[in-house]
Amino acid sequence: MGTTARTAVTALHRGRAVDPGRVLAGPLLGVGLSWLEPDDALDLTSDGVEHALYVTGGSGLAGSDGADVPLAEGTAVTLPLGGRLTLTAGPDGLEYFHAVLAVPRGAS
């Protein structure tokens, strides 16, 4: 009795990020649907956070430690603590769902 619902419904569109801390108490710091223009690149590092990505459209490459892995719709990529990754969009661009997760202090 007396509890307040903290449910939120948010439409995700390209470039729109959401702060899940408004309704969730877990380690999720941010979520959003992102877009890279054709041939654009984005460098990600996991310093104090981890990343999870799910490709929703287009194509590209995920590069780390000199190796490139092709990305296509339906591909998931995780970047654990201390990792580095470069996303490079293909000729049609790259759309992906991106979640950023907090890492508890002392985790390694």
* pLDDT tens by residue, 13-35: 655 666 666 655 568 888 889 99
- Compare 26 and 94 and report the one with higher pLDDT: 94
Cα gap 89→102, rounded to integer Å = 26
pTM exceeds cut of 0.75: yes
pLDDT score of 54: 92
Q: Which residues lie below 8 Å from residue 44, measured CB to CB, with a gap of 6+?
A: 51, 79, 84, 85, 86, 87
34: nearest Cα among 23, 18, 45: 18
Whether the Cβ atoms of residue 62 and residue 86 lie closer than 8 Å to each other: yes
| Residue 56 near residue 33 (C-beta atoms within 8 A) | yes
For the stretch 19-75, pLDDT in tens is: 666 655 568 888 889 999 999 999 999 888 889 999 999 999 999 888 999 999 999
> What whole-number distance in Å separates Cα of residue 1 and Cα of residue 41?
50
